[in-house]
Structure 1
Amino acid sequence: MGVAMDPDKVQAVSDWPQPRSVRGFLGLAGYYRKFVKNFGTIAAPLTVLLRKEGFSWTDDAGAAFNALKTAITTAPVLALPDFTKPFIVEFDFTVEYKAGVNNTVADALSRRDTDEVLLLAIFGPRFDFIDRLRQAHDTDLALMALQEELQADQRRAPWALIDDMDHVRACATCQRFKSDHLHPAGLLLLLLVPTSVWADIGLDFIEALPRVGGKSVILTVVDRFSKYCHFIPLAHPYSAESVAQAFFAEIVRLHRVPQSMVSDRDPVFTAVTS
């Protein structure tokens, strides 16, 4: 009784052709890295090929490929454990190599770069979810009993059926903490046609930009007459006061205070500052 390497797996690795992508081979070889001395050094020429647009097969890559195949297909010399000291036993009794369509759980050996094209599985959406949900609703006795009690008004909160809007209007807590803090938008007004430069402007924010110099937001200020733009960088978090300071420093300093400013109802624009 002893431990031996599976000859079929050894042959499969030995016959592995030159890959068009080394990711699968390195994934398999990496599983045995503990048993290969200087694994990182040997695999370095292959690791370089993982870089974006960096796949270029060289003699060094071929030598590393063959060296790793030899290393992982050569049985190591096993030493008897010293039972007076703690040690770890690693094993796997469930791994079985199956090629092609017979492999229901594909491993690296079944994903070698070959010219064979196999259709392993076809997935498609299911459209009967609503029907199955309705069927469960009509056949669940507990759910049917609950529905009857709710319709007969035999359940108390939180199961009782109530009119949400009436409940909110009658709830003092809701009225204190769910109130609207903004003025009504009012009627839609047409914008007047501007007659001079930097008298009528529009403002908006561009957010979620890559951070550069600590800034990730741009305040855009557009003259509605000339269409000339200023782009003012801002850092998060910004407030109505910091935006106003940037506006005076970059716009008012150059073009005086405009007669009208058009923006969306962003909280920064509608906030009240002291």
Structure 2
Amino acid sequence: MHEVLRDFLHKFVLVYIDDVLIYSRSMADHQRHVMEVLRRLRTYHLFLKAEKCLFHHPSVQFLGFIRDYSSVTSPLTNLLRNKPKSLTWTPAAMQAFDTLKQAFTTAPLLVHPDPELPFVVEVDASTTGVGAVLSQQQGNPPRLHPCAFFSRKLNPVEANYDIGNRELLAVKLALEEWRHWLEGAKHPFTVLTDHKNLEYLRAAKRLNPRQARWALFFTRFNFTLSYRPGSKNIKADALSRLHSPDIATKDPEPILPERLFTNPISWSEETLPKLNASTDGPPACPPGLQLVPRSRRTNLIHSTHTSLGTGQPGITGTLSLLRQRFWWPRMAMDVKRYVQGCRECAMAKTPRHLPSGKLLPLPVPNRPWSHLGVDFITDLPASGGCTCILVIVDRFSKSCRLIPLPRPPTALEMAECLFNHVFRYYGLPEDIVSDRGPQFTSRVWRAFCKCLGVAISLSLAYHPQTSRQTERKIQEVGCFLRTFCHSHQESWNQFLGWAEYAQNSLRQSTTGLTPFQGVLGYQPPLFPWDGEPSDVPAVDYWFRESERVWGEAHLQLQRAVQRRRTTADLQRSQAPEYQPGQKGLAQQRNPPLPLLIDDGPVYLVKEVLDSQRRGGRLEYLVDWE
């Protein structure tokens, strides 16, 4: 719009982005000016919306600003609330009315920016927001007049920036806000800040990635950073604190830290006899003890349990301390309920009770290769171009397949590997148990299993017991490879087939059969052939024997699961029953350390959309918060 109306600017036209103001000294001049502007807009195929246009008006509202306008006018807006039939004029309303009249008739009034004059940008940042003022030296004599104001609240990530980065963010946001005036300005402009270190930004040799991106953005502008003390940077400082919470609304807090207090009882000892006299105690109250009224019991338990002098004892310790001087009915139950709900004890103390939750075993399969468990052995020495082993375990026969891979596969490569090495030999499974690796949580893997009608069972985070059979098989394979490849680790790939053969030949304690017998119905020879006919069954006999073996194996598996469940439940307690909306503490063993990326902020991820492996590292496609 500036380019289209450039020869009319400041003669009879003012432009602010897409707002056009036409002013004239007489009606005849005004009609001529309006026609010239309309012809120019039609020449450049720019359209106006009639509902938003005002023609031949003596005055219009154009780019006005009054700071704290909503706060100033609140007494007046309260008078008009709910459409009252009559207005009650109050002193507060009168004061607001006078304040508005003063604001409309006095400075600081916004002046329209003059591209022929240099700009001044004043910026400041607080802990909650940033503020900026765009000004120019106008008038006779020249005075610094504001052209525009800017204020914005910091989001949670920006609020964690240090003071230097917050001040630099204020500069960046101000230049973004007024880039239509500042980018390509005729004169270099000045940015005033109360953070002296920003003066050396362009000469700095080491910048973090965020500062480097902002520095690249600053190259689009011709400006100088200058320091001004905070006591003189009043306008920008006030704008940056618009979003600060009202300090007067906060509850008073003690100046001394909480750890210096020993949680004294909130009622004096002199009031106890009066309270006891006003409460009809039951005859069971022991002599020498004071009866505590119902309204004081929780405070008394809290003071006794959380005091520095007691060290937050358990149920027995807290109850013992209270019983030295106090008594009330069902005291033990009240103390137990309070201590069990103590958040600090739950987080800091070692649990002495049995783990909660009974054993919930996986379902017992009915046939070989119907329920699988998959996992990886990674970070192996390179052998034949492979550094990883895919371990696939049949949960029915305990048979396994060991497949060497050059690297952990993607979801698509995982699907191809399972089809080529398992599905085409043993048929489609009913369920696959795996951890929560990126291969098994991607949309490609879910779509693949859905098309084949295969259920996906993902283990819980930090709970490898879900796929215990696969983890145990990984341990046994690792032991085999360490035994035979300890002196030539670069050739473990040559021994992997023998490791699979050995694992499938070992008799399993749960079924009493070897994996070969569970799948094939017979045991292949383990020793050199001596010339005798091999013990391979006939077809009819093989079918009958397979059905018998599978039925017996299924029964043995059920018995083994029941034995394991009975043994495990002896060391566990019943899981608690939670109500909807009830809060609890989740125990997380060995949580991962937070990532520090060049001391930058941690961005919140809403959803992981997809992943792929490139150069030995995982890349994620994510949706940011």
Q: TM-score, normalised by structure 1?
A: 0.32
Q: Which has the higher strand share?
A: 2
Question: Which of structures 1 and 2 has the bigger CA Rg?
Answer: 2
Q: TM-score, normalised by structure 2?
A: 0.14
